[in-house]
Amino acid sequence: MEKAKIAIVGFGHVSREALAAVLESPDMEVAGVVLRNPVKVAEVQKEAGEIPVVTDVKELGEVDVAILGIASRAVPEVAKKYLEQGINTVDSFDIHGEAIMKMRRDLDREAKAHNAVAVISAGWDPGTDSIIRTVMEAIAPKGLTYTNFGPGMSMGHTVAVKAVEGVEDAVSMTIPEGTGLHKRLVYVKLKDGYEFEKVAEAIKQDPYFVHDETHVYCVEDVESLIDVGHGVHMERKGVSGITHNQRMEFIMSVTNPAATAQVMVSAARASLRQKPGCYTLPEIPPIDYIYGEREALLRRLV
C-alpha cells in the first residue's frame, strides 16, 4: 500500500497532536514539518527528531496533503499557496458564519484550478459537530438545535487574544449558559507599558468576542490556568413529519488539541477520495474519513 505523504504546517499544540496522529495512521507517513518562521527551525528540529523541518514545502519533495495547524485568520492566504502547488489542504478554521462560506467559495475556485482538494473548518466545531447537527436535522427537520460549548479552553479564541496588541500571554475559557449562550472568561498577562482597560476593550470588540458576554481579567501567570480540556453538549427538540417533541442530544468531553488534530488527519484521508474542490465536513461521506476496506467498514458500521 502506498502511503499518503502528509506535511504538518506549524508546530503548536494542534500540529504536535496531528504529527502523532499521522504517525499512528497505517495509510499515511509524515513528509515533514513546515514552519513560516525560520527562527524556530532549529528548536523544532530537536523535538521532531529525524522528521525534516523546513520553511518551504518544496524542500520535502512529493506531498499529498498539507495539514494547516495555524491561526484561523492565516488560513485563507496560506491554503491558497498550497493549493496553487496542487497540494490538498486541511484546516480547522473556526470563525463561524459568512467567513466560512466566503473561504469555501474562494478556495473552491483555487482547488479546482489546480486539481486539488481543500477541506475547511475540519475541527470538532465547526467540523464533526457540524455533521451531528446535520444528522439531528435529518431526523427532525423542524425545530431548534442548541450547541453548548465547554466549560473549557477555546484554542481559536485564545489565539485571537494573543494577537491583540499589548498581550504577552493569554487564555480564553468558554462557559456554557445553556440554549447555545456562552460567557467568555479571558485571562491576560500584559506587556509592559500597556493599559489593561484599553487592552480589555480591544479584546471585547474583536469579532471572536463581540457577540458573547466577555469578562477580561489581568493576571501575572497564565500558564498555571491552562487546562486544554473542552467539550460540547448539543440538544435538538423538533418535529419528525407531523410528530412533535422529538428530542435528541450529543455529549462529548475531549482534550481539545488532540480531538481537533485527529479530525484534521481523518479529513486529510477523506480529501484524497474527493473530486477537486473545497468541502466542509458535512459534504463528505462519513465513511471516507475512516481507514479500512469499505465493505468491511460497512459490515461494522451499518
Would you list which residues are annotated within the binding site?
92-94, 122-126, 174, 184, 230, 256
Burial class (CB in 10 A: 0-12, 13-18, 19+), 242: exposed
Residues of the binding site for substrate? 174, 184, 230, 256
Contact 292, 299 (CB under 8 A): no
Residues of the binding site for NADP(+)? 92-94, 122-126
CA distance 262 to 268: 10
For residue 114, which of 92, 91, 74, 81 has the smallest C-alpha distance?
Answer: 81
Strand partners, 147: 234
Q: E-assigned strands of 77-208? A: 88-91, 117-119, 142-149, 152-153, 167-178, 181-190
Strand partners, 170: 188
CA distance 22 to 265: 7
Coil vs helix vs strand at 182: strand
Contact 102, 69 (CB under 8 A): no
CA 160 to chain centroid, in Å, comes to 14
C-alpha cell, 184: 467568555
Burial class (CB in 10 A: 0-12, 13-18, 19+), 121: buried
